């Protein structure tokens, strides 16, 4: 688990707000004050102006979901590290209805400081859909700028980032700002109704659980001539732990969030195995292709977490929990002690949870009681990070050690240039705790 040596700082978690000379603290404060006043008692008739940072497929999809989720919501600003990504998004949004998408050219920003410029524009609500490494400092910047936040998951890739998000979530609570994270199961009626019953005792005390995300391989971005190491890694970010956290964090964190939700607490300890058996080509960076983690919770519950990204293998995405009085598949069914279905989710209304998470945040803003999922999302992210660290190192990892770890994967200097790929982690050789 390699940590990068310190260099002269250009951008970092610690000086992100100071990075752009064109954005003064006074401008941010003024904009924040205006937007907070505008939305303090916002009605459905009040327009909510949205900015998007991270214009790839995930970001564009999130922007469409936000705009479609509620009335009088409009996308007005775009930011991305890369010009081609921004241009593709701008071209797409320009074909959509102006009352929902009205992004002027002077509200399009490119480069390392694109986020600050989007935050300084006249927006109320920012969508953060960059690679996960950048989310902690962007969430912090957005809350300092007085913006409501929708951030894709995970919210961090290392303990240093988790702590930054926890601090930002506490600040958002004080300022009355909303944070919703792209863990859409929390806004899926099937899960919500099932969890109500589980928490009311439908299956008794939770004893054990199994959570899965096994699928084929993810896409690879081929390196083009002229791309530096860092540019290539940012474009092929899934395969670099400092950017994505490895796929156990970037993807499987969904199931860790469900496990923590069902059990009602966070794990105290985990052990894990994992490796890189099939994806050995340098195009796959240095991440693993399979993990298996055993989580122990303070209540005594144990959860087995299995994830894999290997073509040609059996696929399963879901969760199962066993209680003292029955069991549950939380997205659909609850079973009694004999295995008979005791409850099944049924609804004639089809609700898109990817839209619903935006709808819930916007409704809470307009009600003057913004949702704040920051702390919960940070804790679920750290749960996944614990599993990765345990597999990378071969050691048992305690929650308290993970939370207080000095591990910080963010490069101290963010600029396009040489940036060697770290070696693949070898259990028993990488140190822990760090």
| Per-residue pLDDT tens digits for 353-388 | 999 999 999 999 999 999 999 999 999 999 999 999
pLDDT at 431: 82
Please give the Cα distance from 207 to 200 (Å, whole number). Answer: 15
- Find, among 44, 57, 49, the residue nearest to 85 by Cα: 57
pLDDT at 46: 85
pLDDT at 132: 98
pLDDT at 304: 98
pLDDT at 32: 42
Q: Spell out the residues 6+ positions from residue 18 whose beta carbon is closer than 8 angstroms to its own.
A: none
pLDDT at 45: 56
Instruction: Write b or e for each residue in 343-375: b if 16 or more Cβ atoms lie within 10 A of its Cβ, otherwise e.
Output: bebeeeeeeebbbbbbbbbbebbbeeebbbbbb
Tokens linked to 267: 């794990």
- Portions of the chain given CATH number 3.40.50.720: 16-185+357-374
- Portions of the chain given CATH number 3.30.360.10: 189-347+381-404
Residues of the chain short of pLDDT 50, as ranges, are: 1-10, 13-14, 17, 19-38, 40-41
Residues comprising the chain, all counted = 434
What Å distances lie between residue 277 and 246, 284, 315, 390, CA to CA?
Answer: 15, 12, 17, 18
Please give the Cα distance from 379 to 434 (Å, whole number). Answer: 19
pLDDT at 42: 53
Of all residues in the chain, what percent are helix, strand and coil, respectively (each to 5)? 40, 20, 40
Query: How many beta carbons lie within 10 A of that of residue 91, not counting itself?
Result: 9
189-347+381-404, superfamily in CATH? Dihydrodipicolinate Reductase; domain 2 (3.30.360.10)
Three-state secondary structure readout of 371-400: CECHHHHHHHHHHHHHHHHHHHHCCCEEHH
pLDDT at 15: 52
pLDDT at 21: 37
- Find, among 97, 18, 36, the residue nearest to 365 by Cα: 36
Tokens linked to 80: 């991305």
Tokens linked to 314: 């059996």
pLDDT at 223: 96
What Å distances lie between residue 46 and 24, 131, 158, CA to CA?
Answer: 28, 31, 38
Tokens linked to 231: 């540019």
Tokens linked to 434: 């760090």
Whole-prediction pTM:
0.92
DSSP 304: E
Please give the Cα distance from 202 to 187 (Å, whole number). Answer: 21
pLDDT at 10: 47
pLDDT at 429: 92
Query: How many beta carbons lie within 10 A of that of residue 252, not counting itself?
Result: 27
Q: What is the pLDDT of residues 67-117, one digit of tens each?
A: 999 999 999 999 999 999 999 999 999 999 999 999 999 999 999 999 999
Tokens linked to 251: 């993807």
Tokens linked to 432: 């822990």
- Find, among 354, 419, 409, the residue nearest to 188 by Cα: 354
Contact 131, 161 (CB under 8 A): no
pLDDT at 348: 83
16-185+357-374, superfamily in CATH? NAD(P)-binding Rossmann-like Domain (3.40.50.720)
């Amino acid at each position: 688990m390699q940590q990068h040596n310190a260099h002269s700082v250009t951008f970092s978690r610690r000086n992100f707000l100071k990075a752009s000379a064109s954005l003064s603290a006074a401008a941010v404060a003024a904009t924040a004050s205006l937007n907070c006043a505008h939305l303090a008692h916002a009605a459905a008739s009040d327009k909510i102006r949205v900015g998007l940072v991270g214009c790839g497929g995930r970001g564009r999809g999130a922007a469409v979901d936000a705009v479609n989720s509620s009335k009088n919501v409009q996308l007005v600003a775009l930011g991305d590290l890369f010009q081609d990504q921004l241009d593709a998004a701008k071209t797409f949004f320009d074909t959509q209805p102006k009352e929902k998408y009205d992004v002027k050219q002077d509200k399009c920003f490119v480069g390392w400081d694109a986020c600050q410029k989007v935050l300084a524009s006249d927006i109320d609500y920012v969508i953060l859909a960059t690679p996960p490494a950048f989310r902690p400092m962007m969430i912090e910047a957005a809350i300092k700028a007085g913006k409501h936040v929708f951030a894709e998951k995970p919210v961090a890739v290392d303990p240093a980032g988790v702590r930054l998000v926890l601090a930002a979530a506490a600040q958002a609570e004080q300022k009355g700002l909303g944070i919703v994270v792209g863990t859409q199961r929390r806004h899926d009626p099937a899960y919500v109704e099932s969890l109500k019953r589980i928490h009311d005792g439908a299956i008794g005390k939770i004893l054990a659980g199994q959570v899965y995300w096994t699928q084929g391989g993810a896409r690879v971005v081929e390196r083009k001539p002229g791309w530096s190491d860092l540019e290539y890694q940012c474009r092929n970010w899934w395969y670099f732990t400092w950017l994505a956290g490895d796929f156990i964090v970037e993807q499987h964190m969904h199931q860790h969030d469900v496990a923590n939700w069902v059990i009602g607490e966070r794990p105290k300890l985990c052990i894990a195995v994992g490796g890189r058996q099939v994806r050995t080509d340098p195009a796959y960076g240095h991440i693993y292709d399979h993990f298996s983690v055993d989580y122990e919770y303070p209540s005594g519950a144990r959860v087995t977490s299995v994830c894999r990204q290997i073509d040609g293998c059996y696929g399963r995405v879901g969760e199962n929990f066993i209680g003292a009085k029955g069991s549950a598949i939380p997205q659909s069914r609850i079973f009694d002690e004999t295995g008979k279905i005791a409850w099944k989710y049924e609804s004639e209304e089809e609700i898109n949870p990817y839209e619903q998470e935006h709808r819930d945040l916007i409704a809470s803003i307009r009600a003057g009681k913004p949702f704040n999922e920051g702390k919960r999302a940070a804790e679920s992210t750290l749960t996944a990070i614990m599993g990765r660290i345990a597999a990378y190192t071969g050691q048992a990892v305690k929650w308290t050690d993970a939370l207080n770890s000095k591990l910080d994967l963010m490069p101290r200097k963010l600029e396009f240039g040489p940036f060697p790929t770290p070696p693949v982690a070898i259990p028993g050789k990488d140190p822990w705790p760090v």
